[in-house]
Amino acid sequence: MYLGIDGGGSKTKAILVDAKNQLLGQGIAGAANPLHGVEQTITSITLAAELALESAGVARSQLSRLVVGAGLAGVNLPDLFEIMTNWDHPFAQFFLTTDLHIACLGAHSGADGAVIITGTGSCGYSSVKGKSLIVGAHGFPFGDKGSGAWFGLEALKYALLASDGLADDSPLKDSVEQALQAKGIDLVGKMVGATSKKYAKLAPLVMDLADQQDPVSVAIVQDGADYISAVAKKLLAQGAQRLSMIGGVSQRLQQWMSPEVVSRLTQAQMQPEFGAVLFAKRELLSLDKTA
Amino acid sequence: MYLGIDGGGSKTKAILVDAKNQLLGQGIAGAANPLHGVEQTITSITLAAELALESAGVARSQLSRLVVGAGLAGVNLPDLFEIMTNWDHPFAQFFLTTDLHIACLGAHSGADGAVIITGTGSCGYSSVKGKSLIVGAHGFPFGDKGSGAWFGLEALKYALLASDGLADDSPLKDSVEQALQAKGIDLVGKMVGATSKKYAKLAPLVMDLADQQDPVSVAIVQDGADYISAVAKKLLAQGAQRLSMIGGVSQRLQQWMSPEVVSRLTQAQMQPEFGAVLFAKRELLSLDKTA
């Protein structure tokens, strides 16, 4: 039995499949981004795995028989990759890679290609002829342009400027104030120390108003979309023949992106957690070859 | 004896003066911004006060005889103002206001006027004919444009974009990489969860390169300076006859600001902690009148 894990800043998905890739069970747990907590990452992975076993009617004690492929956010940082690799895990095997890698494997069923994820965060990844490239994946608040969290942050920045009379008024200010049930300086109180997930909840406000041609919202969405188009061009320049976009804001972003890029987009074939299973199988195979 | 306290995100300054405003002693302690910790704020204020007594050769037990005026960052948020007002303080009297208010009182020796603080954070304040206005003071990362932390954040955002090949190269990238002793994605590892103070340490890099006409740095500094010019115009529009700029980056910002605004700037007359003493004396007087 194989377990595929997709761990991100918001949640962890685990799927249990048999040798023929038949889905046996699924489990969902909390965040698994070691950048924001190694302990929680370990807890989430273990819980998601146990829940997947349970949903398949398999005893939790069978964890130790599983071959696990896990793609996690944050492990593009070499230090975090090492910490998670050294985890004294409860599985038979634990193969670790980035959430980007498994998303790309899933999107193209293991074939070469590229993927852009625009959900709570943003990033791009391509894997062509054994060479991979990560673009973005820098995290909040200094990176992740064009992501849900970034749209939320820009909306809040604008609302604060406008409430000081230092930006043109726009329905976006009212919309942010209504969503947070606060005005002016009290907006700050509502968002102090907010997680990227909380910022991302404001993203649909900007998207909705951009659709209605509110100039302030259009400017924010266009800026984010231009960045994602640039990421896409960078990935295509690596020679990727297939490029997919996944994540919560990817659908709505596309109408603002470069038509040249959008025309190149292909539908993702499988979810990242299935990509994680592909990854585990490949790693196991290469271990067997080495042995 | 009066104690004046200036509490901010980096440190707390306390001065002890006699009834004739003669300086008797000084103390410095850690941060006092209740937004980032009420406990630490209380600890810092108490310690700074005790050190001021000690430096004046007065027993620490005399805390209970002091009339204290304190201007703190963060208490522009109504909830935090209430929390700090309800503090069971060790002083005879404890009069609380914002760090902005005492900076303004100090800068103009208690007269009407306006002040802009551009240090780790940024904000503006005017007090004219009994009406006060706060502009900015929103905090990091969504506000504080034109502050040291904001310059540092923008520098990091740029360096990450450039290391992905998605922004033009510039000496600023090298400068940030050298300061953080890291490149590309490893920059993220160095700055994850960084405080605004840590971001502000990158500000001089941007300022230095802007002075050398590096286009990327000039664009960042000009954007920040334009915002501060807009804040200044907003404050002057309230009728302030005097406007002072204080804080770590205020001197270097001025060459990038609107000449019209810069020509209106006047030197601050006293430090904020002396403004805090003025505030305490006024509050005491108005209490006496009420009684």
- Find tokens 């006496």 and name the residue: B288
Name chain A contacts of B126, Cβ cutoff 8 Å.
none
Structural tokens at position B153: 């954040």
Mean pLDDT score of chain B: 95
Q: A43-80, pLDDT tens digit by residue?
A: 999 999 999 999 999 999 999 999 999 999 889 888 99
Interface A-B, measured as beta-carbon pairs within 8 A, has a size of 78
* Residue A185, φ and ψ in degrees, nearest 5: -60, -25
Q: Tell me the nearest-neighbour CA distance from A282 into chain B, angstroms.
A: 27
CA neighbor of A6 nearest in space, from A73, A66, A60, A55: A73
| Distance in Å, alpha carbon of B275 to nearest chain A alpha carbon | 24
Q: A137 to chain B: which residues are within 8 Å by CB? A: 185
Cβ contact B66:B1 at 8 Å: yes
Interface probe, candidates B100, B151, B164, B228, chain A, greatest A C-beta count within 10 A = B164
| Structure-token match 């997709």, residue found | A6
Q: How far apart are CA A3 and CA A119, in angstroms?
A: 24
Q: Which residue has the tokens 């920059």?
A: B187
Contact A188 B138 (CB under 8 A): yes
User: What residues of chain B lie within 8 A of the CB of A77, using their CB?
Assistant: 185-186, 188-189
Q: Which tokens hold the place of A284?
A: 């196991």
The reported pLDDT for the residue numbered B36 is: 84
First to last CA, chain B: 21
Question: Tell me, what's the pLDDT at A212?
Answer: 97
DSSP A112: S
Whole-number pLDDT of residue A45: 98
Integer angstrom CA distances of residue A228 from A78, A145, A257, B231, B274: 25, 8, 7, 33, 51
Q: What angle do CA A221, A227, A231 make, to 5 degrees?
A: 140
Supply the pLDDT for residue B289.
82
The tokens for B279 are 């505030």
Q: Give B60→chain A minimum CA distance, Å.
A: 35
> Is A136's CB within 8 Å of B164's CB?
yes
Share above pLDDT 70 across residues of chain B, in percent, rounded to a whole number: 100
Residue A140: its pLDDT value, please? 86
DSSP-derived letter for residue A265 is B
Fold of the CATH domain A148-262: Nucleotidyltransferase; domain 5 (3.30.420)
User: What letter does residue A61 receive in the DSSP assignment?
Assistant: G
**Side chain identity at B92, as an amino acid letter?**
A
Residue A102 has pLDDT above 90, yes or no: yes
Residue A230: closest C-alpha in chain B: B166
A134, closest residue in chain B (CA to CA)? B164
Using a CB-CB distance cutoff of 8 angstroms, which residues of chain B are in contact with residue A192? 35, 139
Torsion of CA A184, A185, A187, A192, to 10 degrees: 160
Beta-carbon separation of A234 and B160 below 8 A: no
Does the pLDDT at position B106 exceed 90?
Answer: yes
Token pair recorded at residue B87: 């503090």
pLDDT, averaged across chain A: 95
Q: Which residues of A touch B196 (CB under 8 A)?
A: none
Distance between CA B23 and CA B2 in Å, rounded? 10
Is the CB of residue B278 less than 8 Å from the CB of residue B127? no
Mind listing the pLDDT tens digit for each residue in B11-57?
999 999 998 889 999 999 999 989 889 999 999 999 999 999 999 99
Q: Which residue in A33, A48, A31, A21 sits closest to A110, CA to CA?
A: A21
In the 8-state DSSP scheme, what is residue A183?
-
Q: Using CB atoms, pick whichever of B76, B137, B156 lies closest to residue A142.
A: B156
Sheet holding A12-17, edge to edge: A23-29, A12-17, A2-7, A67-72, A93-98
B152/B204 Cα distance (integer angstroms): 8
The reply to whether residue B166 touches residue A231, judged by beta carbons under 8 angstroms, is yes
Indicate yes or no: CB of A188 within 8 angstroms of CB of B142.
Answer: yes
Span A180-204, pLDDT tens digits: 999 998 999 899 889 888 999 999 9
The minimum CA-CA distance between A137 and chain B, rounded to whole Å, is 8
* 3-state class (DSSP) for residue A12: strand
- Classify residue B93 as exposed, middle or buried by CB count within 10 Å of its CB (0-12, 13-18, 19+): middle
- pLDDT greater than 80 at residue A290: no
Q: Which pLDDT belongs to residue A288?
A: 82
CB-neighbour burial class of residue B127 (10 A; exposed 0-12, middle 13-18, buried 19+): buried
**Could A136 and B188 be called an inter-chain contact, meaning their C-beta atoms sit closer than 8 Å?**
no
pLDDT for A187 equals 94
Is B72:B98 a contact under the CB 8 Å cutoff? yes
Q: Are B205 and B227 in contact (CB under 8 A)?
A: no
Percent of chain A with pLDDT over 90: 85
Which of B76, B78, B160 minimises the CB distance to A142? B160
Phi, psi (rounded to 5 degrees) for B227? -65, -45
Name the β-bridge partners of A245.
Answer: A116
Rounded CA separation B279/B137 (Å)? 20
The predicted pLDDT at position A101 comes to: 96
Contact A202, A158 (CB under 8 A): no
- 3-state secondary structure string across chain B: CEEEEEECCCCEEEEEECCCCCEEEEEEECCCCHHHCHHHHHHHHHHHHHHHHHHCCCCHHHHHHCEEEEEECCCCCHHHHHHHHCCCCCCCEEEEEEHHHHHHHHHCCCCCEEEEEECCCEEEEEEECCEEEEEECCCCCCCCCCCHHHHHHHHHHHHHHHHCCCCCCCHHHHHHHHHHCCCCHHHHHHHCCCCHHHHHCCHHHHHHHHHCCCHHHHHHHHHHHHHHHHHHHHHHCCCCCCEEEECCCHHHHHHHCCHHHHCCECCCCCCHHHHHHHHHHHHHHHHHHHC
Q: Looking at the partner chain, which of A79, A142, A227 has a beta carbon nearest the beta carbon of B153?
A: A142
Q: Please answer whether residues A15 and A79 qualify as being in contact, where contact means their C-beta atoms are separated by less than 8 angstroms.
A: no
CB contact under 8 Å between B192 and A136, yes or no, is: no
Residue B44 CB coordination number (10 Å): 24
Measured in angstroms, the CA of B236 and the nearest CA of chain A are apart by 14
Each residue's pLDDT tens digit, B146-202: 999 999 999 999 999 999 999 999 999 999 999 999 999 899 989 988 988 899 999
Asked whether the beta carbons of B127 and B107 are under 8 A apart, the reply is no
Give the rounded distance of the alpha carbon of B219 from its chain centre: 24
Continuous segment of H or E residues that includes residue A186: helix A185-191
Contact criterion met (CB < 8 Å) for B153 and A141? yes
- pLDDT given for residue B24 in this prediction: 96
Residues of chain A with CATH 3.30.420.40: 2-109+269-290, 148-262
Interface of B with A (CB under 8 A): 35, 76-80, 134-139, 141-143, 145, 153, 156-157, 160, 164-166, 185-186, 188-189, 191-192, 227, 230-231, 234
A235 neighbors A126 (Cβ within 8 angstroms): yes
| Mutate: best of B123, B138, B150, B227, partner A, most A CBs <10 A | B138
Q: What is the CATH number of domain B2-109+269-290?
A: 3.30.420.40
